[in-house]
Amino acid sequence: MLAILSVTFPFFALVLCGYVSVRRGMLPQLAIPGLNSFVLYFALPCMLYRFGAATPIAQLLDVGVFSVYLLCALLMVALAMAATLRRAGWNDAAFGALVAAFPNTGFMGVPLLLALLGPRSTGPAIVAIVVDMVITSSLCIALSRMGSGAGRAALGRALRGMLGNPMPWAIALGGLSSAAGLALPGPVMHTVGLLADAASPVALFTIGAVLARSQMGAPAAALPGGPPGDFVGLALMKLLLHPLLVAGAGHAAIALGVPLDPAALTVIVLVACLPSASNVALLSERFGAHTGRIARIILVSTSLSFLTFSTAVALLR
């Protein structure tokens, strides 16, 4: 366990550094969008391209991983919606479902899993990113508009937003490079490598900064984020129920003869163990949901995941 904590601790420590830097005023809140833009448009796409180009195309097109992970994402959305729709409108219920089903795979999971499991983890993790960015987030945004009767329009907006996100394009270009056996010229690849190496530390630091800003920027009346049982319950759904669903569905699929590598199943179970994605708070703010509530779910899941994720690694490795 100590060996696992020695790997996971620096990742969570960087999140804490970003959080403290904003809370103490060492990093101005106005600087956070710049950090987000650097990670989203430069560092993370380069990291995903490099991983995609170095990963066999068969791993990037793994139907077993895709099917099991997608099924569990849809189940998580349905369960979270059912748990919260009685006391919240469609908008808040849908973003509660998204925060319960969308792990922080891009900013945190890919580098963390690479450090723990090596290159074999990148293929399944990339498949999970594609499912969450293209399907899970688009579905929840469309559901959030159901109360206003604008679900189809919201789905269109979500799909347009996905097309403007550089991460799927970086994954696609990396996959094409892998399939065709192509490589970028040396100086260009070295530049990509420098940006890719910056992705992990800056992304983790930015997660903490975004969490701190979400707390500090919320109106005083919104700070509680709803009853504690609501946001703690959704955080525990993310950290405990999601990986249990993926593990159960994966083992059932293997028993039924679905071509799913047990090592790939371990990776997507650990992906499901990750805390909620920090960008859900930004989406909830854009679509008028209760951002204070979402920020607290992300904060609770991120805080607890240091123990729950490390324990899951110890059990699964």
Q: Residues 222-234: pLDDT tens digits?
A: 444 455 667 788 9
pLDDT higher than 70, residue 244: yes
Highest mean pLDDT among 93-97, 252-256, 282-286, 295-299: 252-256
* pLDDT cut 90: percent of the chain above it: 47
Q: pLDDT averaged over the chain?
A: 86
Closest CA to 39 of 85, 99, 104, 93: 104
Distance separating alpha carbons of residues 285 and 288, to the nearest angstrom: 5
Residue 281's CATH number = 1.20.1530.20
Residue 186: what are its φ and ψ, rounded to 5°? -50, -55
pTM: 0.85
Closest CA to 222 of 299, 298, 295: 295
Predicted local confidence at residue 229, as pLDDT: 62
The stretch 296-303 carries a mean pLDDT of: 90
CB proximity list for 92: less than 8 A, separation 6 or greater: 84, 289, 290, 293
For the record, the structure tokens of 241 come out as 């129920």
Question: What total of structural domains would you count in the chain?
Answer: 1
Cα–Cα–Cα angle for 215, 271, 115, rounded to 5 degrees: 95
Burial class (CB in 10 A: 0-12, 13-18, 19+), 221: exposed
| pLDDT band at 301; cut points 50, 70, 90 | very high
Q: 156 or 43: whose pLDDT is higher?
A: 43
Contact at 8 Å (CB) between 34 and 206? no
User: Could you tell me the residue range of the domain that residue 168 belongs to?
Assistant: 2-316
Highest mean pLDDT among 71-80, 90-99, 161-170, 197-206: 71-80
Distance separating alpha carbons of residues 36 and 208, to the nearest angstrom: 11
Task: Please enumerate, as own/partner, the contacts of 312-316 that have beta carbons within 8 Å and a separation of 24 or more.
Answer: 312/243, 312/269, 312/270, 312/273, 313/4, 313/8, 313/116, 313/270, 314/1, 314/4, 316/266, 316/269, 316/270
Distance separating alpha carbons of residues 229 and 86, to the nearest angstrom: 14
The stretch 147-157 carries a mean pLDDT of: 60
| pLDDT band at 155; cut points 50, 70, 90 | low
Predicted local confidence at residue 157, as pLDDT: 62
> 24-70 pLDDT, tens per residue?
999 999 998 899 889 888 998 999 899 888 888 888 889 999 999 99
For the record, the structure tokens of 116 come out as 């723990």
Residue 183 DSSP SS3: coil
